[in-house]
Structure 1
Amino acid sequence: KISAYIIMVWMEWVSFTVTSVFSWLFLYNSHVGPRCPQTFVADRLLFVQIQCLMQIMTNRIGLILYNPDKARRLKVAISIATSIINVSVFIIWIPARLQISPTWIRVNDIWDRTEKSIYLIIDFGLKSYFMYLLKSKLVANGLTKYNLVYRFNLSMVFLSISLDVIIIGIMSLPDDEVYIQVHPLAYIIKLYIEMNIAELLGKALKKSN
């Protein structure tokens, strides 16, 4: 059965693959041509990766929220927030890439890091909310089968947030190509973490206490 979760996972993988192709061209093909259009496409694919990953997390939260309206509002809120951030990046990115003025370039450098910091906060908030629901709504009510999911998620929070910090740090490097290569790799790892948590949660939902 094709679900929204499956579609988002495949969208992630497709965007990873295309971004990897761009990275390979940047590194090994000096005749790739003007880089601005390709960097633009790569940046839009990075947004697809972020949007899908955020929705995968909200989808996981919805499984244990037991409140369809609240889960739907959370998904819409996260989607709107990430879309607004992306539009703002798009507005600043174009004049910065066209080098209209040093001010735009400086604003783009600052906002790039601010944007990634906001995504880090959203990521951490969603993971913390998921752990809160697990602990307060399920484990605290005697459903000990969710303890493994809680402990695994707790251990993965540090790894996931560390990847976001690495991404922000790499943005300080002068070469954009390094960032374009590392970002999809980091999000592949984050996707793998999310898929493992979803698998554990699915097993726990089917398992008797």
Structure 2
Amino acid sequence: MAEPDKHSTDVASIFFGFFIALWIFTATKAVRQTSSIWRRRHTLWNRYVIFIWTEVFANVVFAVTTYLYIRGVQKPSLAYFTGIVIMWAVLTQLLLQIIVNRVALIMVTKDRPRLLRWGLFLFIGLVNISVFCIWIPAMLRSGPQWVRINHVWERVEKSIFLVVDLGLNIYFLYLVRSQLIEKGLTKYWPLYNFNAGIILISTSMDIALLGLQSLPNAYDYIQFAPVAYTAKLHIELSMAELISKVVRGRNRVDASDDWTSDGTVLSSHIQGGTKRQTQTLYAKGEMEIDERSEAGLVGPERQEGILKTVAVVQTETRDGESGTNSERGSMKGTAVA
């Protein structure tokens, strides 16, 4: 990989300008969502809040330090390259965990989100470690073999992130379609269509990172990385807002379904001659249900994020029977503010 020179500063300045504009819009959206969470919970100790703000600040530090390096202000050193890789590892890990958090909202099984989070963390962690071992020696000119290996591995590594990002978004589409829309919750069509559209934008960011590695100065693509990661974060913030709006919206359901406008959906599923009424509660922020106070809680669970889907009560009656109003009134939940 060639060292940055004066001819790369123009390209870097363009990327840095795009980053500043996009970062302002993204940070503003993060402030708005954080303020909403604070008004409801009076605390910001929340996985979602921590993730998005770490991502916001890591992006700006990454962009500024990289730009200073290309301008020649920051000199190449082991400390600098190590810091760049650490920030990149934080950005990639948290961004994918934010996407996993969105996917986990629709997962019914309690253990699956945990397995997905940890499995992805370990897998991406191995990729991060490989970059530590290859990219830093290549940048320090430890030997021509490191430069050749890095030339190949950088493209492989970017392809891995492209496939993982694309896979998570396609899995989210599958869950929305199979777990919500096909169960009669047709109000989730806008969410499905929006996510289908943003897949193209998110994937194009990864493709651009791959393509920019072919520039005369291969280091220029690193200046584009915070642009790509900030764009992806903006997408996730927009998805969180859309999910919140959709959850509060009215839904066209069958006559057998009970819908109330306070954010609670009672879906009826026919299984083996038994009508199962499942109350699903949606709430922004972090939700924790007290098992002792919720007598009907199915599998006590705690999840964190801008939107939580918690299966609270399952009452089963035979055909022709239905839950009483008093039973429904005893269920507790928080509608999306």
In the alignment, which of 62, 81, 91 is matched to residue 39 of structure 1?
81
Structure 2 counterpart of 1:146, from 163, 188, 193: 188
RCO comparison, higher one (Cα < 8 Å, 6+) = 1
- Computed over aligned residues only, the root mean square deviation of the Cα atoms, in angstroms, reads 1.6
Which residue of structure 2 aligns with residue 68 of structure 1?
Answer: 110
Kept after mapping to 2: 8 A contact 1:23/1:177: no
1:85 is the counterpart of 2:127: yes
Question: Is 2:166 the counterpart of 1:124?
Answer: yes
CA contact (8 A) 2:78 2:136 kept: no
State TM-score, norm by structure 1. 0.93
The letter of the residue matching 2:123 is A
Identity, in percent, stands at: 38
The answer to whether the 8 A contact 1:26-1:32 is kept is: yes
Q: Show CA shifts across 1:9-49 (max 9, x none).
A: 00101111101221332244x34333553233223212211
2:226 alignment partner in structure 1: 184
Give the count of matched residue pairs: 208
Bigger fraction of residues in strand: 2
Query: Relative to total residues, which structure has the larger helix share, 1 or 2?
Result: 1
The runs of at least 4 consecutive aligned structure 1 residues that moved more than 4 Å come to none
Residue 191 and residue 158 in structure 1: after superposition, are their counterparts in 2 closer, same or farther (change >3 A)?
same
Match of 1:206 among 240, 248, 254: 248
Aligned residue type for 1:166: A
SS in structure 2 of the partner of residue 65 of structure 1? coil
What secondary structure sits across from 2:58 in the alignment?
helix
Report the structure number with the largest CA radius of gyration. 2
Aligned pairs for 1:161-176 within 5 A:
161-176=203-218
Against the structure 1 CA distance between its residues 176 and 42, is the aligned structure 2 distance closer, same or farther, given a 3 Å change threshold?
A: farther
Q: CA deviation at 1:105?
A: 1.0
1 CA distance for matches of 2:82 and 2:209?
A: 18
Residue 48 (structure 2) aligns with: 5
Question: Relative to structure 1, is the Cα distance of residues 88 and 27 closer, same or farther in structure 2, using a 3 angstrom cutoff?
Answer: closer
Query: Where does the alignment leave 5 or more consecutive residues of structure 1 unmatched?
Result: none
What TM-score do you get using the length of structure 2 for normalisation? 0.59
